[in-house]
Structure 1
Amino acid sequence: MNNFVLEFKNERELYMAYMPFLKQGGLFVKTPEQFELGDEIHLTVTLPGQLESVELNGSVCWITPHGAQNGTEPGVGVAFVNDENNVRNQIESNLGRMLNSKEPTYTM
């Protein structure tokens, strides 16, 4: 299983990576590595303003390949599989009103 460490310094970075349209939430991970849909990923996530990270497992549900037409950086969207630490709720609390923004993200 691949492991990624994600440290979000501010709400803008978190907003760009968060995938609220997934039932249990998810995050976009910038990476040049190639993955297949369904690959298992382990995430260690530090949210803005927090000193301790949380860990959770997910699966690849979105792939942005190298050379995507819209110029988006390559990477994968990781859907949360076990969110025992309620990372989705923590993210949505951090983002608050930003969740209603029309500003593009890494995935939409």
Structure 2
Amino acid sequence: MQELLVDIEDNDELYRSYMPYLKNGGIFVKTNSRFDMGTPISMRIMLPDALEEEEVTGKVVWITPQGAQNSNPPGVGVCFDAEFELLNDKIVKMLGTALNLDKPTYTM
């Protein structure tokens, strides 16, 4: 299983990366590495203001290739595995009312 290191600097970056429309939540990871849909992924995520990394597994459910027509960076969206519901809850709590904003994200 491939491992990705994800360092999210602030809540604005978290908002742009978070994928709330996935059942268990997920995160977009900027990377130039190539992945196929469904690839299992292990991630170490450093959330804003966190003291330690969150370890999470999931699978690739979104791909933005290098040179995509929009201005979004290349990378993959990873859906969290079901057992990481607490991490998803933590992200939702961190973002709070920002989840209702209509600002662009890296995916939708």
Aligned to 2:106: 106
Aligned to 1:94: 94
Gaps of 5+ in 1: none
- CA distance 1:57–1:82, change in 2 (3 Å): farther
One-letter code aligned to 1:88: N
Equivalent positions of 1:4-19 (< 5 A) are 4-19=4-19
In the alignment, is the contact (CA less than 8 A) between 2:61 and 2:76 conserved in 1? yes
**TM-score under structure 2 normalisation?**
0.94
One-letter code aligned to 1:28: F
In the alignment, is the contact (CA less than 8 A) between 1:58 and 1:78 conserved in 2? yes
* Equivalent-residue separation in structure 2 for 1:41 and 1:91 (angstroms): 19
Aligned to 1:24: 24
C-alpha RMSD over aligned residues: 1.1
Give the paired residue count.
Answer: 108
* Equivalent-residue separation in structure 2 for 1:73 and 1:38 (angstroms): 20
In the alignment, is the contact (CA less than 8 A) between 1:41 and 1:78 conserved in 2? yes
**TM-score under structure 1 normalisation?**
0.94
4+ runs deviating over 2 angstroms:
82-85
Q: Which moved more, 1:81-90 or 1:4-13?
A: 81-90
In the alignment, is the contact (CA less than 8 A) between 1:57 and 1:82 conserved in 2? no
Aligned to 2:42: 42
Gaps of 5+ in 2: none
In the alignment, is the contact (CA less than 8 A) between 1:38 and 1:61 conserved in 2? yes
Deviation per CA, 1:17-50: give whole Å up to 9, x if none. Answer: 0000000000001111111100011011111111
Identity among equivalent pairs (%) = 45
- CA distance 1:84–1:78, change in 2 (3 Å): closer
